[in-house]
Amino acid sequence: MTLHSHRLTDRDSPIADDGDEVRFCSACAFSAASMRAGYDKAALRDLHVLVEHVGPFRAGEHVFRAHDPFRAIFAVRGGTVKTVSVDADGNEQVLGFYIPGEVVGLNAIYPERYPCDAIALENSYFCRFSFPAISALATRMPGLQQQLFKLISKELGMATRLAGDHGAEERMAAFLIDLAERYATQGFPARRLHLAMSRNEIAAHLRLAPETVSRILGRFRETGLIALDVREVELRAPDQLSALARNVLGR
């Protein structure tokens, strides 16, 4: 098999702190909105002062834990995280995977405690925003407020799609398409991706058995929809995949 996906490393990631005192890490979920709105230096400085760079977290380390009091949200600067909720019987449910530029922890606002664990899947870095501080700032920066609303609402859309009734193949296709698109919007190649998560974790996300995930990926490979080398994926027929995912993604 000659599939060489562009494995993300600390070195070649386009997402990183640019070291500039005034501007933000270029991919931060908040920077685009703030820049777009054309805020003055003072407001930008406020937002910048708010940020606390944290990490690295190594694979398997917790960024936050279920039941911890909610204090902050985390923008992924580099790496990948999963959020997981473990029920009384020990069943793990993966709520989501988060890649650079995305924000983790928004589901903790209402309960005022994190309702899940956040665990790094690989070496990962974050911008930590105190939630009281960022929402106070949002009061003076309507664009930031809007951005926060959008982020939570987007997350809500994701959860809703996941809740839908759909066949295993449809969900798997939707997972791949969605992930690829999210990487694409962050500036990564759109047709190749490295899966930072195990089959087990994909399964726990899509409420499938790991065996089913494996079989479906195998089938996708055999029918030429994807090229696959364990965790390296190339979308060979994105249109057919999208067609499969159509009902899940709602378009």
Partner DNA sequence: CAGTCAGGTTGATCTGGATCAAGGAAAGCT
Partner DNA sequence: AGCTTTCCTTGATCCAGATCAACCTGACTG
Q: Which residues bind its own copies (CB under 8 A)?
A: 85, 87-89, 91, 93, 95, 106-111, 115, 135-136, 138-140, 142, 145-146, 148-157, 159-160, 162-165, 207, 246-247, 250
Region from 35-43, 101-109, 204-212, 240-248 binding DNA, contact rule CB under 7 A: 204-212
Under rule CB under 7 A, residue 169 binds DNA = yes
Under rule CB under 7 A, residue 82 binds DNA = no
Q: Strand 124-130 to strand 92-98: parallel, antiparallel, or no bridges (unpaired)?
A: unpaired
Closest CA to 241 of 173, 190, 180: 173
Q: Which is nearer to DNA, 185 or 200 (CB)?
A: 200
Q: How far is the CB of 249 from DNA (least distance, A)?
A: 16
Under rule CB under 7 A, residue 215 binds DNA = yes
Q: Which residue has the tokens 């702190």?
A: 17
Dist CA 164 CA 196 (whole Å):
24
Under rule CB under 7 A, residue 199 binds DNA = yes
From residue 117, alpha-carbon distances to 17, 71, 85, 187 in Å are 25, 14, 6, 28
* Contact assessment for residue 173 and residue 182, using Cβ atoms and an 8 Å cutoff: no
Q: Which does 190 bind (CB under 5 to 8 A by kind): its own copies, DNA, none?
A: none
Q: How far is the CB of 22 from its own copies (least distance, A)?
A: 25
Closest CA to 48 of 134, 110, 177: 134
* Contact assessment for residue 226 and residue 234, using Cβ atoms and an 8 Å cutoff: yes
Under rule CB under 7 A, residue 167 binds DNA = yes
Q: Which does 163 bind (CB under 5 to 8 A by kind): DNA, its own copies, none?
A: its own copies
* Contact assessment for residue 110 and residue 124, using Cβ atoms and an 8 Å cutoff: no
Dist CA 71 CA 89 (whole Å):
28
* Contact assessment for residue 131 and residue 86, using Cβ atoms and an 8 Å cutoff: no
Q: How far is the CB of 238 from DNA (least distance, A)?
A: 20
Q: Which does 154 bind (CB under 5 to 8 A by kind): its own copies, DNA, none?
A: its own copies
Under rule CB under 7 A, residue 245 binds DNA = no
Looking at the DSSP assignment, which residues form a beta bridge with residue 52?
A: 128
Under rule CB under 7 A, residue 211 binds DNA = yes
Residues at the site binding DNA, with contacts judged by CB under 7 A: 167-169, 198-200, 207-215, 217-218, 228, 230-231
